[in-house]
Structures are given as C-alpha cells and as structure tokens.
C-alpha cells in the first residue's frame, strides 16, 4: 500500500529544491493570534478552509474566487481561515495566502512542512499560524524533530497547530510548545477517513 504522507513530504522537498519557497514579498500586516481567537469564541470555533483543489474530488471552489469564499467565511463567523499553499496536490500557492492577508482574520498556512525555509515564506506571505503534522516528523521525513520545528516557527513569529492521528502523537503534542492541537480524521498515509478517530484518541 502506498504511503501518501511520504509522497507529500517528498514533493515538498522537491518544491524546496526548485525554489518555490523563496517568497520575498513584504508581509501585508502585523500578526493576529489564531490561538487567542479560538479561546475567545464561545461554543464551536470554526477555522474555515480554502482548498482550491482536492486529489480525489477535483476543483472545490465551484467557480467562486478565493476572495469571495474568504469573505463568506468571515461573514459566517469563522475565527480563522486556513489556506492550502501546496500547489502540486491542492492547487494552493503562497500568492493565494498573501492575497488573503487583507482579511481581519488569523491565517493558517497548510502545507507539508519539512524545512525551516518554508516557515519564513509563510510568514512573508501573511500567515499567522502554521500546520505541523506530527507523524511526518515522527517518521523522519523532515529536516528536524517536531520540537525543533515548533521553536523555529515561533522564531519566525508564527503560532503552531500540531496535527495528530493517534494517542501517542497527542501525548507528544501535549508535551510540546504547540499553541493549538488538532486531531485529523483522515490518515494521510492511506487517505482513509475515520470520523470516530478523534473520540478514540481523546479517550
């Protein structure tokens, strides 16, 4: 069975090699705290997602511009917006992220982070928070361990949302300096979805 996470990480390294993350635009605005926005929200705090394309479902924007989608999210009460910046599998880009920085909502950069160079690019593009996938670090697909990458992200002025899939990953995330922790129902190794996974992990 193919390891999709390994492929995603390998493709991130290829993007690094071709200079995709050399993004030198001026950061559009001062940072906003996604962690604070989540804590302040009473009830469910929704981080809405901008994903132009899915490997399994194709185009997801249905003809809407990304800006229109983001404005709808803001009007709908989202506490933040996550933006896919992986161009190879999800149709995202750093320019797309940069274009959303005019919103008065915290932005989460979603990619397969394997090296610190990516963090600098996300900061320059306007991200306030970055997704770090715990299994990617546990399997040695990145240039360093999870804790070191979290510290590097904080050094670039980014908060960190650590994604976990199991109880062991949750324990590591809880012991780390992560600002937020999320449990993914999708196993990115197989791409299979198990909606009961978060319940099992939290037991």
Model confidence at 56, pLDDT cuts 50, 70, 90, reads low
- The 3-state DSSP class for residue 25 equals coil
Alpha helices per DSSP H over 34-180: 34-40, 66-75, 87-90, 94-99, 116-125, 134-138, 146-155, 167-174
Whole-model pTM? 0.93
What are 138-176's pLDDT values in tens digits? 999 999 999 999 999 999 999 999 999 999 999 999 999
C-beta of residue 182 within 8 angstroms of C-beta of residue 201: no
Q: At 83, phi and psi to the nearest 5? A: -125, 125
- What number of helices (H) and strands (E) belong to the chain? 10, 10
Q: At 75, phi and psi to the nearest 5? A: -65, -30
DSSP 185: S
Mean pLDDT for all residues in the chain: 92
Cα–Cα distance measured from residue 201 to residue 137, given in angstroms and rounded to the nearest whole number: 19
Cα–Cα distance measured from residue 157 to residue 146, given in angstroms and rounded to the nearest whole number: 17
What are 62-121's pLDDT values in tens digits? 777 767 887 888 889 999 999 999 999 999 999 999 988 888 899 999 999 999 999 999
- Domains plus CATH for the chain? 4-22+32-202 (3.20.20.70)
């Amino acid at each position: 069975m193919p390891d999709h996470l390994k492929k995603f990480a390998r493709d991130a390294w290829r993007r690094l090699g071709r200079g995709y993350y050399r993004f030198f635009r001026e950061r559009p605005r001062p940072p906003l705290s996604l962690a604070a926005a989540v804590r302040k929200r009473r009830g469910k705090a929704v981080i809405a997602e901008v994903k132009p394309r899915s490997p399994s479902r194709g185009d997801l924007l249905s003809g809407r511009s990304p800006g229109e989608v983001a404005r709808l999210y803001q009007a709908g009460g989202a506490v933040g917006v996550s933006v896919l910046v992986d161009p190879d599998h999800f149709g995202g880009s750093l320019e797309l992220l940069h274009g959303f920085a005019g919103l008065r909502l915290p932005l989460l950069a979603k990619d397969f982070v394997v090296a610190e160079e990516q963090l600098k690019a996300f900061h320059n593009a306007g991200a306030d928070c970055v997704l770090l996938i715990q299994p990617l670090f546990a399997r040695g697909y990145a240039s360093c361990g999870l804790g070191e990458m979290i510290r590097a992200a904080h050094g670039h002025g980014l908060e960190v949302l650590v994604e976990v899939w199991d109880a062991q990953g949750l324990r590591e995330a809880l012991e780390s300096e992560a600002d937020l922790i999320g449990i993914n129902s999708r196993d990115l190794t197989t791409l299979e979805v198990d909606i009961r996974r978060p319940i099992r992990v939290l037991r």
